C-alpha cells in the first residue's frame, strides 16, 4: 500500500505533537492568572522542560517553588521580564529551588519580603543574567539575600545583578565548587559573600556602593566549616560607602562601613589582580573571628592568604570607629591599604611554632603611607606595653601556589 507524501507529513506532525506536547513553546505572559500559570508549570514540569516567561511585570502575592530536576526558567531579559513581589503576603522568599540541574536566566526578581531566590541542596544551579533588587533603596526592612544558594555543589552565577539586600546581594554558603563571574553588586550590606565554602572563583565582578565589597567568611556552629581555596581575581571593588543597614544581630552587621575585601577565618585565599579603591576603612582586611564559639572544632584564625598583583588606590581614609575600633585604636590618620589583625594561636605568638598567615607579593598603592600593617592585636591585648604595629612589608613577602581553577563535576 502506497502512502502519499502529505499523509507522511501529517503522521510525523502528530508524532511530534505527542512526543513534545506542543508544536510551539507556550510562553506565559503577565496577567491576573500568571501566578497560577507559573506555579502550575513548575509543579507539572518534567526534566528538560523550559518554562518561558514573557516581557512585562508579573505581580505576585505568594512565593514560587520548584522541586523538579533539570528545568529551565527563562525570561526575555534582565530588565524586561520582572517578577514583582511588592505586594507579597505569604512565603519566606520569592523563588525557592530544591532540585538540581536548574537554570534561571534573563529575568528579574524584585521587592520580596524575604530572600529573593533561595536554592537548597542542589547539585548544579545556574544563574545567568538574573537581577534581584529592592527598588526602594538600602533599608533594614529589605530581604536579607538576593541570590542565596546553600548546601549546594557546582554553583554558577554569571552576568547577574544584586541590589539592596540587607545581608548579602550575592551569597553562596556551605557549598562546594562555585563560580561567581561578571556580575554586579550594589547598595547591599555585603556585595558578594562566600561563606563556609570550598573551592570558589570570584572573577571579573564589580562590587560598589555596598558596606563591604567582597566578604570571604567562615563561621562556627554550621554543618560545613573550614572554608578554603577561594580565588578573588580581576574584580573591581570600589566606593563601598553605604552605611551598614543590616538588622540587629546579623553577623554582617559587624562589617565596617567602607570595607573593600574582607577575609575572616578562611584558609588558602588568593586575592589577585583586583582594582580596589575608595574604600574608607580598608582596601583589604584580614581578620579572625572575635566572638566566643562553643564549637571546639572551629578554627577562627585565617591562614595562607596570598595577596598579589592588586591595584590599591585611596583606601583607609576614614576608618569606621565603631565596627573597626581595633584599627582606629592603633593607627592615626590614613591607614594602610592592607590590614591584618595579627591574631595567631598562642603557641605561634610565643614563638614555638610558625605558620604562613599572610603572604604578600607585589601590589601597587598610590599612598604615601605604608601599604600593609599587622596590627599585632595579640600583643596589644596580652602585653600592651610591648605593642607596636608592624608595617614592614618585606617581613611578609613570599610565594604560595596559585589556587587551581574550579572544575564542575559535569565538566
- Could you report the per-residue pLDDT of 271-327, keeping only the tens digit for each? 999 999 999 999 999 999 988 888 888 999 999 999 999 999 999 999 999 999 999
309 Cβ contact partners less than 8 Å away, ≥ 6 residues apart: 272, 273, 361, 362, 363
Residue 194 resides in a domain = yes
DSSP state of 53: B
CB atoms within 10 A of CB 306: 21
**For residue 272, what are the β-bridge partners?**
233, 308
Residue 201, pLDDT score: 98
Q: What is the distance, to the nearest Å, from the Cα of residue 320 to the centroid of all Cα atoms in its chain?
A: 23
CA 231 – CA 274 distance, rounded (Å): 11
Nearest to 272 by CA among 367, 406, 401, 408: 401
Residue 23 resides in a domain = no
Which residue stretches of 274-387 are H helix? 325-330, 346-349, 377-382
- Domain limits for position 386: 114-396
Residue 312 resides in a domain = yes
Residue 75 resides in a domain = no
CA 32 – CA 108 distance, rounded (Å): 19
Nearest to 206 by CA among 186, 187, 179, 231: 186
Residue 108 resides in a domain = no
Residue 29 resides in a domain = no
Residue 195 resides in a domain = yes
Residue 293, pLDDT score: 81
Residue 57 resides in a domain = no
Q: What's the grid cell of residue 320?
A: 569606621
Mean pLDDT over residues 189-206, rounded?
98
Residue 369, pLDDT score: 86
Number of domains in the chain: 1
Name the residue with higher pLDDT: 9 or 358.
358
Nearest to 221 by CA among 144, 298, 120, 151: 298
pTM more than 0.85: yes
381 Cβ contact partners less than 8 Å away, ≥ 6 residues apart: none
Amino acid at each position: 500500500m502506497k502512502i502519499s507524501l502529505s499523509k507522511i507529513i501529517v503522521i510525523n506532525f502528530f508524532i511530534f505533537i505527542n512526543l513534545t506536547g506542543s508544536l510551539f513553546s507556550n510562553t506565559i505572559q503577565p496577567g491576573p492568572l500568571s501566578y497560577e500559570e507559573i506555579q502550575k508549570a513548575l509543579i507539572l514540569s518534567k526534566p528538560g522542560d523550559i518554562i518561558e516567561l514573557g516581557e512585562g511585570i508579573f505581580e505576585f502575592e505568594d512565593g514560587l517553588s520548584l522541586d523538579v530536576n533539570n528545568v529551565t526558567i527563562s525570561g526575555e531579559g534582565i530588565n524586561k521580564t520582572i517578577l514583582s513581589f511588592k505586594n507579597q503576603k505569604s512565603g519566606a522568599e520569592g523563588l525557592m529551588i530544591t532540585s538540581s540541574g536548574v537554570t534561571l536566566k534573563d529575568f528579574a526578581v524584585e521587592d520580596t519580603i524575604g530572600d529573593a531566590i533561595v536554592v537548597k541542596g542542589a547539585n548544579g544551579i545556574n544563574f545567568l543574567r538574573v537581577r534581584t533588587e529592592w527598588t526602594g533603596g538600602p533599608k533594614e526592612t529589605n530581604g536579607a539575600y538576593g541570590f542565596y544558594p546553600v548546601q549546594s555543589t557546582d554553583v554558577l552565577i554569571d552576568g547577574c545583578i544584586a541590589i539592596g539586600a540587607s545581608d548579602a546581594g550575592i551569597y553562596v554558603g556551605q557549598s562546594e565548587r562555585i563560580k561567581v563571574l561578571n556580575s554586579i553588586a550594589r547598595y547591599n550590606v555585603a556585595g558578594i559573600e562566600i561563606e563556609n565554602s570550598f573551592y570558589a572563583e570570584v572573577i571579573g565582578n564589580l562590587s560598589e556602593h555596598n558596606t563591604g565589597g567582597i566578604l570571604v567568611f567562615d563561621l562556627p556552629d554550621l554543618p560545613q566549616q573550614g572554608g578554603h581555596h577561594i580565588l578573588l581575581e580581576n574584580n573591581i571593588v570600589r566606593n563601598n560607602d553605604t552605611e551598614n543597614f543590616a538588622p540587629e544581630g546579623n553577623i554582617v552587621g559587624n562589617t565596617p562601613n567602607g570595607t573593600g575585601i574582607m577575609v575572616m577565618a578562611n584558609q588558602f585565599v588568593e586575592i589577585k589582580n583586583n582594582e580596589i579603591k575608595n574604600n574608607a576603612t580598608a582596601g583589604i582586611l584580614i581578620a579572625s573571628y572575635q566572638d566566643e564559639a562553643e564549637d571546639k572544632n572551629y578554627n577562627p584564625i585565617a591562614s595562607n592568604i596570598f595577596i598579589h598583583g592588586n591595584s590599591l588606590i585611596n583606601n583607609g581614609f576614614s576608618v569606621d570607629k565603631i565596627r573597626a575600633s581595633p584599627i582606629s585604636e592603633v593607627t592615626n590618620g590614613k591607614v594602610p591599604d592592607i590590614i591584618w589583625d595579627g591574631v595567631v594561636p598562642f603557641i605561634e605568638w610565643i614563638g614555638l611554632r610558625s605558620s604562613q598567615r599572610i603572604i604578600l607579593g607585589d601590589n601597587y598603592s598610590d599612598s604615601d603611607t605604608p601599604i600593609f600593617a599587622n596590627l599585632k592585636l595579640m600583643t596589644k591585648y596580652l602585653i600592651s606595653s610591648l605593642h607596636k604595629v608592624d608595617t614592614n612589608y618585606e617581613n611578609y613577602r613570599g610565594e604560595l601556589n596559585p589556587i587551581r581553577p574550579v572544575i564542575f563535576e559535569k565538566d
